[in-house]
Structure 1
Amino acid sequence: MTGGLEYALIAVAALWGAAAGALLPRAAHRFAVPAGEEWRSACPQGHPLAGWLGPARCRACRETPYGTGAGTASGTGAGAADGTGAGPAYGAGAAVPVTVTALVCAALAAATGTRPELAVWLLLAPAGVLLATVDFRVQRLPDPLTLPFAATALALLGLTALVPEHAGEWTTALLGALALGVGYFVLFLINPAGMGFGDVKLALGAGAVLGWYGWPTVLLGTLAGFLCGALYGGALVVARKAGRKTSIPFGPFLISGAFTGLLIGAYTA
């Protein structure tokens, strides 16, 4: 791939990532609830939310300043309407998901090049960022995200295997999903307090994308996830912000490890 084409591909991937990341705040707000609770269906002021994708803004709130009613009780209000007609923001802003998703997609494009599996990685990347965001906030990996993530990964990779010039194998993607899922399930049985069942379901999707590039990539991505989690937990203990038995969300590190393994697998394929 020539230099000009490579830079253009990376730029397009980054733009796609930024656009997709801008659609994540509302979904993150709706999914980020503690285990056992229903997904949010209203803004902090109690107005019904339409749809799952888009900015975290409520049009019905544009005439209602935050600081009264449910907005104060929730603690998530972010000021009055800003004059855009979209109403005041609630929850976290779009800057982080936009930036992170754009960087992730750009890195995937740089590592994968013009091979057809790049389209799969770019479609899955926003879902991975959303999953990491929700788990980091409330230590929960929603079934409506984890299970479709794994199924979509396997389905899209199955189609990609029919396209010329791909660099992976669908069989190892399927076996990787099963192997990682079973491995995490065993860890869940051994230590349910340290490994949630949501992590087991997420491992199916992670194993699929890593398995596409072979077993060394599965091993690398798995070890990278545990290493990232251990370093984060150790840093919290050293900073005295957590104890040795403090529960931390593992989903973001499982995804980070899979992303690391995928980058290296794609680059070396």
Structure 2
Amino acid sequence: MSPTLMTLAAAYGAAAGLLLPRPAHRMAVEPEEDWRAHCPAGHPLTGYAGGWLGPPRCPRCRTACGPAALPTAAATALVCAALAAATGARPELAAWLLMAPVAVLLAAVDWRVRRLPDALTLPLAALAAAALGLVGWLTGTSGSWLRALLGGLLLGACYLLLFAVNPSGIGLGDAKLALGLGIALGWYGWRALLTGGAAGVFIGALWGAGLLLARRGRRQEPMPLGPFMIVGALCGLLPAAAAAG
């Protein structure tokens, strides 16, 4: 474990996390709605990249646009530092650091509107496949890459089956997210895939049971599974990455 590498990864994560509130606000809409182009008070969002990059508050009225910047920065920094600590200076760390801000953004959007947009889930899977494919080519570990692709297909198929059985509890967005998470987990082997996939379902079930016991949830009320899937994937990825070192 290199303290310098962890510090650099945490700084990168914090910087990326500071940019997440604006896209989280814009993407937290219902499926039939367009991406938001205004702050909650109705002022047009201005900034870079067509308003997707900018301060977390409206420049005109100072209304918050999305989740608070400090929590998203802290969460992304923590995830990136943990990935760096577990992976070390191995090439696949670059793939994990590229995927981490997208995963945090997905968690933020899903938590707000119970939705995982295709504009994030599918690029996350493509990013994982492309980045790990490059790592496999550079390091001669193409077998790990092929296993990663199979892992993504397997975990995605499992969630697709869960969607077919219980469409009110599992969404197609969850299956698409599982594709990218499965690719990452599959890089380290079937045990990592099983651990990460099962942990996501288990943590989500615990949260749902806690809400029911606290009388704050109803059985038919949709629950954001994406954040728990991502946390579960980390539960499989971090120990597997540490063991691979």
Tell me which of 201, 205, 210 is aligned to 1:230.
205
Aligned-pair CA distance for 1:34: 2.2
Aligned to 1:18: 14
Aligned to 2:166: 191
Aligned to 1:253: 228
Does the aligned pair in 2 maintain the 1:188–1:194 contact within 8 Å? yes
Q: TM-score, normalised by structure 1?
A: 0.85
Does the aligned pair in 2 maintain the 1:41–1:49 contact within 8 Å? yes
Matched, 1:208 2:183: yes
Aligned to 1:55: 55
Matched, 1:107 2:82: yes
Unaligned runs of 5+ in 1: 66-86
Q: Give the match's secondary structure for 1:244.
A: coil
Q: Which moved more, 1:182-191 or 1:239-248?
A: 239-248
Higher helix share: 2
Aligned to 1:28: 24
Tell me which of 119, 130, 135 is aligned to 1:144.
119
**1:122-141 correspondence runs (5 A):** 122-141=97-116
Matched, 1:173 2:148: yes
Note closer, same or farther for the CA distance 1:104–1:35 as it changes in structure 2 (3 Å cut).
same
Matched residue count? 240
Flag as ranges the 4+ runs of structure 1 deviating above 6 A. 165-168
Percent of aligned pairs with the same amino acid: 57
CA shift digits 1:40-78 (9 cap, x unpaired) = 01122323224313332233x1xxx5xxxxxxxxxxxxx
Q: TM-score, normalised by structure 2?
A: 0.93
CA shift digits 1:89-111 (9 cap, x unpaired) = 43432011001000000000000
Aligned-pair CA distance for 1:88: 4.8
Aligned to 1:81: none
Alignment partners' CA distance in 2, 1:16 and 1:148 = 20
Aligned-pair CA distance for 1:33: 1.3
Unaligned runs of 5+ in 2: none
Alignment partners' CA distance in 2, 1:157 and 1:240 = 44
